[in-house]
Amino acid sequence: MTARRVLVTGASGFLGSHCLTPLAERGYDVIALHHARTPFDVPGVRWVHGDVMDRDAMRRIIGAEKPDGLLHLAWFVEPGKLIADPSNLTWVAASLDLIRAFREAGGERCVISGSCYEYDWRYGYCSEDVTPCEPDTLYGAAKDSLRRAFLSYCSVSGLSGAWGRAFFMYGPRENPARLVSSVILSLLKGVPAKSSHGLQVRDYLHIQDVADGLVALFASEANGPYNIAANAPVTIRQIVELIGVITGKSHLLQIGALPARANDAPLVLGDGRRALNDFGWKPKLTLEEGLSETVEWWQLHADDAGDRR
């Protein structure tokens, strides 16, 4: 695999923004696509404005920039709406058109971000070769659908392709409405943070670890689906309590004050062995390290939380 010039979609987003430096540090010529959000300076990265939904614009950008690599991370994101929003269909469609346009303009290597939502959560433990992909949300079905068509296209077109499944993420620039951000922001403001019983076991990673994993996958010759997972169980309650300890505001936690979601899966945990075996990646930060770094970041940035997604 010799892709050197990589187009990153969703580059200004939560996940994308954390991929830029690792890509530049590996020596890639990084073309970062932004649309709704304002770009920010990253050494070695060149920003290009464009909308993945605009087929003509994407063909123009690909024709002009001639990337041989594509890291496609852009997707509809809005907490609470993501799971069932009809935009998920539109993102599958735009992604398929993008993949074909990229390949037919000479693209060689493509990695797309998938999700643990592709798996059937009734199985709990999510292992690439074993756990069935039978999602019960539109978001999961859309990612599952895109992956199936994408990987099949790779096998007939000669495009080198891999699919990195993110699990649960937290860290700098996360949408303030999400669990970790919202608990941190409440405690930093000195207001109570309510949560459910928190006994659900999940697979949580600091966003920089997820981004490093996707970049490592991109830089490898691995093909097919890969979990980018912590491979370590943690309860929501443990996360919330740890934030309380780190901020010194445990007394503001109101665990159990909110009802648990109906049918919430008791366990969603990713098997990380395939990524470790095939391209030598595993996460670096412990939960304590990751949460401490995130609290520090929010201490500096709490005021602009309203601008972030």
Q: Provide the binding-site residues for a second copy, judged by CB under 8 A.
A: 84, 86, 88-90, 92-94, 96-97, 99-100, 103-104, 135, 137-138, 140-142, 144-146, 148-149, 151-153, 155-157
Q: How far is the CB of 304 from a second copy (least distance, A)?
A: 33
Pick the closer one to a second copy by CB: 49 or 81.
81
Pick the closer one to a second copy by CB: 94 or 111.
94
Closest by Cα among 112, 14, 21 to 70: 112
Q: Which residues make Cβ contacts (< 8 Å) with residue 285, sequence separation at least 6?
A: 205, 206, 208, 209, 293
Q: Partners of 164 in the beta sheet?
A: 113, 226
Secondary structure (3-state) at 240: helix
Q: How far is the CB of 278 from a second copy (least distance, A)?
A: 21
Pick the closer one to a second copy by CB: 12 or 88.
88
Q: How far is the CB of 254 from a second copy (least distance, A)?
A: 32
Pick the closer one to a second copy by CB: 104 or 264.
104
Q: How far is the CB of 48 from a second copy (least distance, A)?
A: 22
Q: How far is the CB of 56 from a second copy (least distance, A)?
A: 12
The answer to whether residues 183 and 177 touch, using CB atoms and an 8 Å cutoff, is: no
Pick the closer one to a second copy by CB: 18 or 103.
103
Secondary structure (3-state) at 258: coil
Pairing of the two strands 193-195 and 253-255: parallel
DSSP 86: T
Q: How far is the CB of 183 from a second copy (least distance, A)?
A: 29
Report the distance separating Cα 239 and Cα 143, nearest Å.
27
Q: Which residues make Cβ contacts (< 8 Å) with residue 11, sequence separation at least 6?
A: 17, 19, 20, 32, 33, 34, 39, 45, 47, 73
Q: How far is the CB of 152 from a second copy (least distance, A)?
A: 3
Report the distance separating Cα 280 and Cα 283, nearest Å.
10
Q: How far is the CB of 142 from a second copy (least distance, A)?
A: 6
Pick the closer one to a second copy by CB: 82 or 201.
82
Pick the closer one to a second copy by CB: 144 or 271.
144
The answer to whether residues 119 and 262 touch, using CB atoms and an 8 Å cutoff, is: no
Task: Look up tokens 């098997």; give the residue.
Answer: 271
Pick the closer one to a second copy by CB: 100 or 308.
100
Report the distance separating Cα 270 and Cα 230, nearest Å.
7
Report the phi/psi class of residue 272: left, alpha or beta, with left for phi > 0 and alpha for psi in -120 to 50: alpha
